[in-house]
Homo-oligomer: A and B are copies of this chain.
């Protein structure tokens, strides 16, 4: 395996540098500084190439999910694979490792939180990770992912788990193969988790989830045993253009910049960054339910506000995007749930929504609407789950994927284990695999151990960041009630967004909230909101399980 320390500068290095045109200016009077500046410029050039190639990949994916005609898929998989391979080749170039190593003494003299020290630190960490993974593996994963996605798209609607078993087996093998690149490890999933949420491990997430589950289960029980709010007012016919228009006006209002982004339709909503000036969101519209497009648009706009808020100086570097999957998810959840499903938010927006859909909503009182969009219940499908039960879906998946990776659960036994898990975590059992173990593509397409936990981390952090913002600016809720989001947005940009990937997630949480990640603000948020909604004025209290 090639490591940076194995890469030595060739003997003629100094001669080479003197030859470069960069030396034809005043800087040549201070060779040491000039040499560092030249190296930094070369490093930035190499990192920008990697960033630009990644953007090309992102565009290939965005286009596939929005406008690509159906017969374009085969070639698109090939196009994506070659760009991925080239990106990886650029990411492990020995010249890049050499530059990073040579700049190490310079980085050591800079303040930890300076842009340059952060750039050198993060770029080096990325490089050391990347060189452990062969390009061949990256190409195989890319090709497998495209094929498996296609197979899953066909298998899920017809409830065909058997067809997906070999794909799952292959995905497990790929996950294990990946873990071995980073051996030795404490747990086989540790490096997969670290890729998504740097600094977290199997053990730390197990602890976090055990604590969260013990508090959540009684809350879910207290809520789901009560009569449910009627959401009939949301289940009428809502025309697509009006839904899209309303969603667009909402995300514009919260601060999403359409000069640097756009909103399109897709099957599975997502947000993608093509550059600092081009951060796009997508949504899916159901004309028989007004919730879906609205909250998925808000969710993706949360991701987009984060990406649009990264400091321009970090553009084209590995720092020029969100800190981790979990921190990213905290922003989609903050805007979608903590803000977007809040009472204050609808004080401003409900009259506007009524204007957009007078036939459907003019006679529906605000309170009915508010209770309908916050209806909580045990359900089968994660993406439809409310904010209370959502985490139980995640925890169940996390347990299962660890067992799959550990070899304690065989691929073919997943469907049965899923039913058992649903019974244990949510108290209901799916009638088929379509709404059971086939509902998410993640595992089949090769993302084993690298994703679901981030959604729960995002939920936890969404409340923690929001609480910190409100602590700093107690007027935020009353501003939201009049459609004013700039204080909240500015606080998040200053404390979170602008830093991009400069800090590790735990550093960022410390800097932003003054303490480590904690489930307390999240549980307090749920208890206050659902305690009030479910006629329990003091908030729900944990009950013995």
Contacts and interface: CB of A to CB of B under 8 A. Distances in A.
Interface string A39-80: 000000000110011011001100100011111111110110
A106 interface: no
A277 B74 contact: yes
Interface in A68-115: 68-76, 78-79, 82-83, 86
A237 interface: no
A280 to B, nearest CB: 8
B260 A71 contact: yes
A415 to B, nearest CB: 34
A49 B68 CA distance: 20
Interface residues of A, number: 38
A52 B78 contact: yes
A82 B63 contact: no
Contacts of A72: 260, 274-275, 277-278
A258 interface: yes
Contacts of A86: 86
A182 B274 CA distance: 38
Contact of A48 (B49, B52, B55, B78): B78
A259 interface: yes
Contact of A83 (B48, B56, B75): B56
A261 interface: yes
Contacts of A262: 67, 69
A276 interface: yes
Interface string A479-505: 000000000000000000000000000
A37 to B, nearest CB: 21
Interface of A: 48-49, 52-53, 55-56, 59-60, 63, 67-76, 78-79, 82-83, 86, 258-262, 264, 274-278, 280, 315-316
